[in-house]
Chain A
């Protein structure tokens, strides 16, 4: 449950790290203030008793949608690579992840 009227504590620096974003000190201060206001606003949900309710992830709750497993056309190798920022004609190229390579 959301705690009513609690001052939402949000460590924006930590959240940015999780989100793979780098913020300037100004951005960090701005987002901290704005996110605290937004989280204060969503705090109104604490008024509601949600015990026993099944979370609703989708509006039209369909599950286990199957189709025939038939071979068909797919993207060519070339097309799959065409938007890559860096590629060598066969693979996506990324910086080395192991030392010395």
Chain B
């Protein structure tokens, strides 16, 4: 059995009875046992429960019962999604022993669609940072080159698909945390529209930005997993109640008159030469297939990193105030009184990047500074959104690089937070504006590192976004390359 088959190929073989979910799950568990020591993509592997689920789904299928759209497919979950009875650590000492008494909405959805939950993937602590080195437990390595980072914060979810440990995985994206690791690991990763997927049971980082989304080898896999994850949920008031299209059904429909927007500023200073070349080549591919290439302007996008590094830490400082050593999470052994218990517990259990962001957010929200920092950022955020609204009058998707460079080396940026933050320069605006966006493979550097193509679309236009991505993928085949991990 090939560990790197796409979801469509695997589902076909499962449906035709050529393989079983049990056989597939066993082979993937073997592969994880053999290779994940060098990658570190999983924090927990749920071998026993995965095989039980797989056997139950095989029995259902064999009996001719109706099965879900993911029936028998192994799916890995970022360790930030609450799962009943399974440790959900968020990559933090604070939640090292936290075992949720309930399932997140997306976990309920995956179970309802007969997915096999194979394990929980590594991440930067509380999803803060872009390298997956910032986990309290282990770094994750890039399966294409283990001296390099897989990106982050959903680095474990991206790496486990790239390494062929699972055909699908779930991540979260607050400023690029799905798309940047997808680009670094040569897989497809998508952030849906804000409000498309319920965050009930997602451990909160920055609530006006966080979204849950899929990783897969190809656009079809991402579309299939998004069908399973999306939809209304009254437990998340920001989740919008509107029908979920069957994205997989319309993927290959011809896109007549597609207008692809290009922002000249995206190809300026700071962009790696090989990334630049690959993305320009992608523009040619669209032009050759009849798309109209339109130059657009997003005049306020250059402020998006600054806006983000006020809004996200502000929301984080507020969200993480709940970790006080009372209801759940770590409590320090030694303290003098109640307030000292909060202080001691938080100080010993949070890592350096989490502390940095809590401090930054607390400052930006503090008396005398909130108008100057936080409220100014919220106003500029409106300008960033208006730029997109105007741009989408002229185009259907906006195309550019996902990241300024291919995967950086492990340890390369850990001492320079600002340089790390600038990695998200192309991805952050989609979170601020709430847009759906996808990264898909569009080439490799001479040294063999994947390059990501970034496409963004107007809110709730996932269907057109996936079609546009598939249009490129269908003719280029970069997504068929696999790591040499064998």
Interface residues of B in 390-448 (CB under 8 A from A): 417-418, 421, 431-435
Interface residues of A in 24-63 (CB under 8 A from B): 27, 31, 34-35, 37-39, 41-42, 44-45, 48, 50, 53-60, 62
Number of A-B contacts (CB under 8 A): 168
Is B356 touching A60 in the complex (CB atoms < 8 A)?
A: no
15 interchain pairs, CB-CB under 8 A: A1-B372, A19-B317, A19-B346, A21-B358, A37-B418, A39-B363, A41-B418, A42-B377, A44-B303, A45-B307, A54-B382, A59-B431, A60-B194, A62-B240, A75-B102
Is B385 touching A59 in the complex (CB atoms < 8 A)?
A: yes
Q: In the assembled complex, which residues on chain B have CB atoms less than 8 Å from the CB atom of A54? A: 379, 382
Q: Which residue of B lies closest to A85 (CB)?
A: B331
Q: Which of B69-77, B337-345, B467-475 faces chain A? A: B337-345
Residues of B within 8 A of A (CB): 97-102, 193-195, 208-209, 234, 237-238, 240, 300, 303, 305-307, 309-310, 317, 321, 324-331, 335, 337-339, 341-344, 346-347, 350, 352, 355-356, 358-360, 362-363, 366, 372-373, 375-383, 385, 417-418, 421, 431-435, 459
Is B356 touching A35 in the complex (CB atoms < 8 A)?
A: yes
- Provide the bound-state CA to CA distance between A75 and B341, in Å: 27
CB of A74, distance to nearest CB on chain B (Å): 10
Other A-B contacts than A22-B347, A45-B306, A60-B238, 9 sampled, CB-CB below 8 A, are A2-B372, A21-B343, A21-B346, A54-B379, A55-B379, A65-B237, A79-B102, A95-B338, A96-B338
Q: Which residue of A lies closest to B310 (CB)?
A: A42
CB of A67, distance to nearest CB on chain B (Å): 5
Of A21, A53, A83, the contact of B350 (CB 8 Å cutoff): A21
Is A60 touching B240 in the complex (CB atoms < 8 A)?
A: yes
Interface-central residue, A58, A79, A82, A92, by most chain B CB under 10 Å: A58
Is A18 touching B240 in the complex (CB atoms < 8 A)?
A: no
Report the interface size for chain A: residues with CB under 8 A from the other chain.
50
- Provide the bound-state CA to CA distance between A16 and B330, in Å: 19
Q: In the assembled complex, which residues on chain B have CB atoms less than 8 Å from the CB atom of A58? A: 194, 208, 238, 434
- Provide the bound-state CA to CA distance between A75 and B328, in Å: 15
Residues of A within 8 A of B (CB): 1-3, 10, 12, 15-16, 18-23, 27, 31, 34-35, 37-39, 41-42, 44-45, 48, 50, 53-60, 62, 65, 67, 75, 79-80, 82-86, 92, 94-97
- Provide the bound-state CA to CA distance between A21 and B284, in Å: 52
Q: With contacts A58-B238, A59-B434, A75-B102 known, is A83 near B329, CB below 8 A?
A: yes
- Provide the bound-state CA to CA distance between A3 and B426, in Å: 26
- Provide the bound-state CA to CA distance between A101 and B328, in Å: 24
Q: In the assembled complex, which residues on chain B have CB atoms less than 8 Å from the CB atom of A95? A: 335, 337-338, 341
Q: In the assembled complex, which residues on chain B have CB atoms less than 8 Å from the CB atom of A53? A: 379-380, 382-383
Is A85 touching B307 in the complex (CB atoms < 8 A)?
A: no
A-B pairs, 3 with minimum CB distance: A59-B434, A55-B378, A85-B331
- Provide the bound-state CA to CA distance between A64 and B474, in Å: 43
Of B309, B327, B355, the contact of A83 (CB 8 Å cutoff): B327
Q: Which residue of B lies closest to A14 (CB)?
A: B366
Of B305, B310, B385, B431, the contact of A56 (CB 8 Å cutoff): B385
Q: Which residue of A lies closest to B328 (CB)?
A: A83
Q: Which residue of B lies closest to A19 (CB)?
A: B362
Is A79 touching B208 in the complex (CB atoms < 8 A)?
A: no
- Provide the bound-state CA to CA distance between A50 and B303, in Å: 13
CB of B134, distance to nearest CB on chain A (Å): 14
- Provide the bound-state CA to CA distance between A24 and B385, in Å: 41
Q: In the assembled complex, which residues on chain A have CB atoms less than 8 Å from the CB atom of B194? A: 58-60
CB of A22, distance to nearest CB on chain B (Å): 4
- Provide the bound-state CA to CA distance between A34 and B382, in Å: 28
Of B329, B352, B432, the contact of A85 (CB 8 Å cutoff): B329
Is B356 touching A34 in the complex (CB atoms < 8 A)?
A: yes
CB of A76, distance to nearest CB on chain B (Å): 8
Is A38 touching B309 in the complex (CB atoms < 8 A)?
A: yes
